[in-house]
Amino acid sequence: MARERDDSTADAPKTRTTESGLPVAAVHGPDALAGWDPAVQLGAPGAYPFTRGVYPTMYTGRPWTMRQYAGFGTAAESNARYRQLIAHGTTGLSVAFDLPTQMGHDSDTPLASGEVGKVGVAVDSVEDMRVLFDGIPLGEVSTSMTINAPAALLLLMYQLVAEEQGIPADRLTGTVQNDVLKEYIARGTYIFPPKPSLRLVADTFRYCAAELPRWNTISISGYHMAEAGATPVQEIAFTLANGIEYVRTARAAGMDVDDFAPRLSFFFVSRTTLLEEVAKFRAARRIWARVMRDEFGARDPKSLMLRFHTQTAGVQLTAQQPEVNLVRVAVQGLAAVLGGTQSLHTNAFDEAIALPTEKSARLALRTQQVLAYETDVTATVDPFAGSYAIESMTDAVEEAARALMTRIEDRGGAVAAIEAGFQKGEIERSAYRIAQETDSGDRVVVGVNRYRLDEEEPYEPLRVDPAIEAQQVRRLERLRAERDGRAVEAALARLRSTAEGTTGNVLPPMKDALRARATVGEVCGALREVWGTYVPADAF
């Protein structure tokens, strides 16, 4: 039996601060809300400024969408995992793609070597997408796809598979992440420079407004910035600043704000610091509602709603004593629910070690089901409303986030700030501070710097078969041999021609190329020829 070791010293009383560095009073009373107007700061649930949630009844009618993120290896393997999740009660699918797919490369390119199927599913063509959703009725399931630079391609493949199933496009529901700006800040899976990337986002907005009216065209993401080290204040400030940039881009392309804003959605992390996370979600809703009304003149109430998906904090999971992650994920999931999320993914306890096993993925889903059906958090709307601690913390987070957004505007907006390295630098400083606090023991991480075991218990993780890379290469060889090569080249030529212009929408010729069975790498390659690739300023 492993012996537990407590490496702590005596805890000394000290002033507490939030993850964002905001002071936290030991006791909050009415004076914390002096001069505070509930009608202005709170409103009613489902009403401006949406502090208390975007829907009047929230979870009292039905719980949030339980959307489990999955994808690994081949399309067939991922399809089997999706069927298991649906059988266990998942109400929404969320697709993880492998790194070559995210970067717009085919599985047989030398750049993809060793990465095929490792962090998600390999999708090279519409044939892989067909296998991925085999036997899954796309008109009945809501699907989220975590894909950014080539998001339009994967969405069009999904639509093509739905057409094969006989499902009209206006019945398809889901979300495509499509948030390339945060890639330049924190994640790095960009392809094209910012300007053409924003054009592709705007073209997707226009295409979906006409063709897929129920589809969420973007999920503006703070999650990945938080994983890189952003504080809660930085997370929402940088995310909402990116959202403002997307709205400006769509308006510059001639779209009315109320034609696309109701389909915008967001994606945030949920940490173990439950109180600040609840305050963060409330502050983000309030800021966005005010920006959309006051800056952009949105009239449709749906344009003012910040609807968001939440994922528990993968960066807070530990490889040491991995079962403790079950507790962390439960607390993080509770914070997301108390904060009013619209959908939730709970991480599996073994994700700090490897891809989740079937059992650990099922336990992650069961965590959500316990929150929804065994607790009373769904019995009333916004249980924390009026809390002195939560309301004062919400005000403090909002004020700090607004100040940070002003600093971005002073630099010319999100894109100019990105090109100057502002957001990246701010996040790196926060990440360094967190690392220092963990190393010194000021930040307690159970099992890592306190309550450690002398010897870790063995754990057998899920492993991806390295043979799948060769399988994908053979599939591509067969695809290229069987398809009409001339039709593919003609479709790609039309795509290049449209991309060279400034007014045409690139999605229709892109869809024609994918229907002709052009690959992800070929379509992205055609656009690279016209738009080039992005090289960050600090790469030299």
pLDDT in tens, 352-400: 998 888 899 899 999 999 999 999 999 999 999 999 999 999 999 999 9
Within 10 Å of residue 406's Cβ, how many Cβ atoms? 12
Model-level pTM?
0.92
Residue 66 Cα distances to 339, 355, 387, angstroms: 15, 19, 27
Helix (H, G, I), strand (E, B) or coil at 180: coil
Count CA atoms closer than 13 A to 278's CA, side-chain side.
19
Q: Please report the pLDDT score of residue 540 as a whole number.
A: 46
Residue of 180, 168, 237 whose CA lies nearest to 204: 180
Query: What single DSSP character describes residue 23?
Result: B
For residues 8-19, average pLDDT: 67
The two beta strands, 4-5 and 452-453, are antiparallel
> Judging by beta carbons within 10 Å of its beta carbon (0-12, 13-18, 19+), is residue 27 exposed, middle or buried?
exposed
Cβ atoms within 10 Å of 439's Cβ, excluding its own: 10
| DSSP character string of 198-231 | HHHHHHHHHHHHHH-TTEE-EEEE-HHHHHTT--
Q: How many CA atoms lie within 13 A of 130 on its CB side?
A: 11
Sequence-distant contacts of 301-307: CB under 8 A, at least 24 apart: 301/48, 302/261, 302/262, 303/257, 303/258, 303/261, 303/262, 304/48, 304/49, 304/50, 305/50, 305/54, 305/262, 306/50, 306/54, 306/266, 307/54, 307/216, 307/264, 307/265, 307/266, 307/342
Average pLDDT of the segment spanning 256-279: 97
Q: Extract the tokens encoding 439.
A: 């190393």
The predicted structure's pLDDT at residue 327? 98
pLDDT in tens, 58-108: 999 999 999 877 777 889 999 998 998 888 888 788 899 999 999 999 999
Q: Fill in the amino acid letter for 287.
A: I
In the predicted model, is pLDDT for residue 439 greater than 50?
yes
Domains of the chain, start order: 62-451 (3.20.20.240)
Query: Using 50, 70 and 90 to split pLDDT, how confident is the model at 2?
Result: low
The one-letter code for the residue type at 193 is: P
Calpha distance 209→205 (Å, rounded)? 6
